[in-house]
């Protein structure tokens, strides 16, 4: 039932997002009404229509989703629909029909411009919902931070840091090991291995994210956290000193804390560990070697 629900919601979500599927249906409708194309082209339209219907109809969509393995989401079953080909074929044939029509040049030009506008309106118009920022800047910053950490570290580095650093660290420097990986906030990545994150790792991840937000060491756990798996109990307090001790026990020797932690709290760290945090970019480095 859950898969069936996903299949139905998938179509609703998709039609709201890309709109290309709606354009496909429009093209198919026009191709049918205007009887466009030769036999091979009509086959393409009809096959596209059938494949699209199979992807929209929840029962067949479920079968497709099971076939493509449960790792992939609903949108991937649409790979079986030759969407781009059918739309492009429809556009070419419509333009050909327009060329042969008795309409004036102005009318033809207006129709072409309108068609182009419709296609462009199906795009995100430069503002995709899936915001993807240029990673170049972030990666350069993280690379700079890692280089500075390496200056302080004597030998091998086992790093514990805020999410944005952990996210890029391994792809920049494969010699750095991490206390946990992206599997803690990107659930799909868990399918790539049989490894399981522990509750301690989840606590440490949540603490690191909250310490920056609250600007202190002891942080209350809110009801909603972005951690994958069971989050720490809402309303409980994660204590900074014990979290850092736990991280060191797990092998972390270089710890990057959010730079926004107040000076009073930094003093507490110095007293607890006998190490003065060093400012590295936007972070505070605790060298625990």
Partner 1 sequence: MLALIAMGILPLSWILGNALTCVLDPKKAKHEYSWEDRILAGILIMIGLAEGAHLFIMVRGQSVFAFTKYFSLLLAATAGLSIAILAICIFRNKQRCLFPKLEKNEWILASLFLALVAAQVVLLCVRTTVYLGYDETLETVTTLLKSERLYEVNPLTGKPYAAGMPSRLKILCLPTIYASLSQITKASPELVTWHLIPVLTLLCSYLAYASLAKALFEEKTHRLLFLAVVALLVFVGDAGYGLEGFGLLHAGFQGTTIRSAVLLPWTFGLCLRGKWKLLPLVILAEACIVWTLYGLGMSLLLVLLYLAFLMSWKTLSKRKEAA
Q: Is 136 in the site for partner 1 (CB under 8 A)?
A: yes
- For the stretch 262-270, contacts whose Cβ atoms lie closer than 8 Å and that sit 24 or more positions apart, written own/partner, are 262/215, 262/216, 265/215, 265/216, 265/217, 265/240, 268/217, 268/240, 268/241, 269/217, 269/240, 269/241, 269/244
Indicate the burial class of 111 (C-beta count within 10 angstroms; 0-12, 13-18, 19 or more): middle
DSSP 108-156: HHHHHHHHHHHHHHTS-TT--SS----HHHHHHHHHHHHHHHHHH-SS-
Q: How many CB atoms lie within 10 A of CB 95?
A: 14
Query: How far, rounded to the nearest angstrom, does the alpha carbon of residue 86 sit from its chain's CA centroid?
Result: 29
Contacts with partner 1 by CB under 8 A: the residue count is 74
Choose, by CB under 8 A, the member of 183, 206, 228, 269 that binds partner 1.
183
Q: Which is nearer to partner 1, 177 or 215 (CB)?
A: 177
Q: Is 189 in the site for partner 1 (CB under 8 A)?
A: yes
Q: Is 250 in the site for partner 1 (CB under 8 A)?
A: no
The distance of closest approach from Cβ of residue 260 to partner 1 in the complex, given in angstroms and rounded to an integer, is: 25
**Is the torsion defined by CA of 88, 90, 91, 96 positive or negative?**
positive
**3-class SS at 275?**
coil
The distance of closest approach from Cβ of residue 93 to partner 1 in the complex, given in angstroms and rounded to an integer, is: 9
Per DSSP, 179 falls in state S
| Interface positions, 79-118, toward partner 1 (CB under 8 A) | 79-80, 82-85, 87-89, 91-92, 95-96
The distance of closest approach from Cβ of residue 1 to partner 1 in the complex, given in angstroms and rounded to an integer, is: 22
The distance of closest approach from Cβ of residue 237 to partner 1 in the complex, given in angstroms and rounded to an integer, is: 27
Choose, by CB under 8 A, the member of 7, 11, 14, 238 that binds partner 1.
14
Q: Is 119 in the site for partner 1 (CB under 8 A)?
A: yes
Q: Is 2 in the site for partner 1 (CB under 8 A)?
A: no
| Interface positions, 145-174, toward partner 1 (CB under 8 A) | 167, 170-174
The distance of closest approach from Cβ of residue 62 to partner 1 in the complex, given in angstroms and rounded to an integer, is: 14
Q: Is 223 in the site for partner 1 (CB under 8 A)?
A: no
Residues 6+ apart with CB under 8 A from 24: 48, 52, 81, 83, 86, 87
The distance of closest approach from Cβ of residue 18 to partner 1 in the complex, given in angstroms and rounded to an integer, is: 4
Beta strand 278-280 pairing with 177-178? unpaired
| Interface positions, 227-246, toward partner 1 (CB under 8 A) | none
Q: Which is nearer to partner 1, 104 or 194 (CB)?
A: 194
Q: Which is nearer to partner 1, 35 or 129 (CB)?
A: 129
Q: Is 224 in the site for partner 1 (CB under 8 A)?
A: no
């Amino acid at each position: 039932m859950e898969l069936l629900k996903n299949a139905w919601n998938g179509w609703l979500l998709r039609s709201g997002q890309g709109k290309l599927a709606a354009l496909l249906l429009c093209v198919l409708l026009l191709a049918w009404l205007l009887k466009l194309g030769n036999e091979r082209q009509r086959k393409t339209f009809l096959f596209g229509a059938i494949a699209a219907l199979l992807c929209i109809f929840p029962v067949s969509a479920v079968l497709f989703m099971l076939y493509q393995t449960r790792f992939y989401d609903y949108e991937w079953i649409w790979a079986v629909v030759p969407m781009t080909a059918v739309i492009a074929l429809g556009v070419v044939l419509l333009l050909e029909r327009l060329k042969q029509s008795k309409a004036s040049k102005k009318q033809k030009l207006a129709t072409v411009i309108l068609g182009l506008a419709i296609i462009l309106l199906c795009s995100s118009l430069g503002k995709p919902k899936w915001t993807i920022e240029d990673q170049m800047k972030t990666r350069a910053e993280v690379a700079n931070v890692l280089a500075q950490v390496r200056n302080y570290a004597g030998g091998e580095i086992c790093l514990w840091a805020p999410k944005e650093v952990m996210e890029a660290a391994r792809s920049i420097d494969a010699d750095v090991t991490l206390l946990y990986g992206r599997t803690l906030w990107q659930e799909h990545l868990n399918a790539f291995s049989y490894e399981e994150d522990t509750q301690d790792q989840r606590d440490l991840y949540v603490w690191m994210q909250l310490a920056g937000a609250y600007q202190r060491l002891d942080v209350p756990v809110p009801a909603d956290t972005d951690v994958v798996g069971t989050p720490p109990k809402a309303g409980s307090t994660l204590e900074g000193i014990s979290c850092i001790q736990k991280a060191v026990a797990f092998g972390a020797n270089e710890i990057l804390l959010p730079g926004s932690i107040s000076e009073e709290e930094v003093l507490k760290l110095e007293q607890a560990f006998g190490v003065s945090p060093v400012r590295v970019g936007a972070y505070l480095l605790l060298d625990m070697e």
